[in-house]
């Protein structure tokens, strides 16, 4: 898992601005996101992760499931941390994610064959 700091639209294209968050960690199987919006555990949501202007990609979309939730409270505020597991992702969006976040050192010559929830890349 690596540290990131990318904005996340928790409604994706289906429910724009249903909630905004910040991806704080990323791995090949999902994201850890913090948000001020309370969303139920085990809920499946479509998200859109945006990248800064000037980068190779604009955004990627993925269907996720909330598999872990933690609440942080302080001075009348509540912040929610979620572990979002990738549930369904388009092949080209998965390739974007993999290229940006999952480049282990010394793996440049490794095979590009990976299976992710039935998607062969």
What's the CA gap between 83 and 22, in Å, rounded? 12
Q: Is residue 109 part of a domain?
A: no
Tokens matching residue 85: 């597991």
Nearest-10 Cα torsion for 86, 90, 94, 97 = -90
| DSSP bridge pairs for 70 | 81
Confidence band, pLDDT 50/70/90 cuts, at residue 27:
confident
Q: Is residue 118 part of a domain?
A: no
Domain count, the chain: 1
Q: Is residue 22 part of a domain?
A: yes
**pLDDT over 80 at 20, yes or no:** yes
Q: What is the pLDDT of residues 77-121, one digit of tens each?
A: 999 999 999 988 877 777 777 776 655 544 443 333 333 344 433
What's the CA gap between 100 and 62, in Å, rounded? 15
pLDDT of residue 104: 52
Q: Is residue 30 part of a domain?
A: yes
Q: What CATH number has the domain bearing residue 91?
A: 2.40.10.220
Q: Is residue 56 part of a domain?
A: yes
Domain that holds residue 32: 2-103
Q: Is residue 52 part of a domain?
A: yes
Tell me the pTM.
0.72
Q: Is residue 63 part of a domain?
A: yes
Q: What is the pLDDT of residues 31-75, one digit of tens each?
A: 999 999 888 889 898 898 888 888 777 888 889 999 999 999 989
Half-sphere exposure of 7 (CA within 13 A, CB side): 12
Q: Is residue 85 part of a domain?
A: yes
């Amino acid at each position: 898992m690596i540290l990131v700091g990318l904005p996340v639209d928790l409604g994706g294209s289906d429910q724009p601005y249903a909630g905004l968050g910040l991806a704080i960690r990323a791995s090949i199987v999902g994201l850890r996101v913090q948000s001020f919006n309370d969303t139920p555990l085990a809920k499946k949501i479509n998200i859109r992760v945006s990248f800064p202007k000037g980068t190779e990609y604009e955004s990627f979309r993925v269907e996720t499931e909330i598999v872990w939730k933690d609440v942080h409270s302080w001075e009348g505020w509540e912040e929610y941390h979620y572990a979002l597991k990738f549930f369904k992702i388009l092949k080209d969006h998965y390739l974007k994610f993999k290229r940006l976040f999952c480049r282990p050192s010394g793996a440049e010559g490794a095979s590009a064959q990976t299976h992710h929830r039935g998607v062969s890349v």
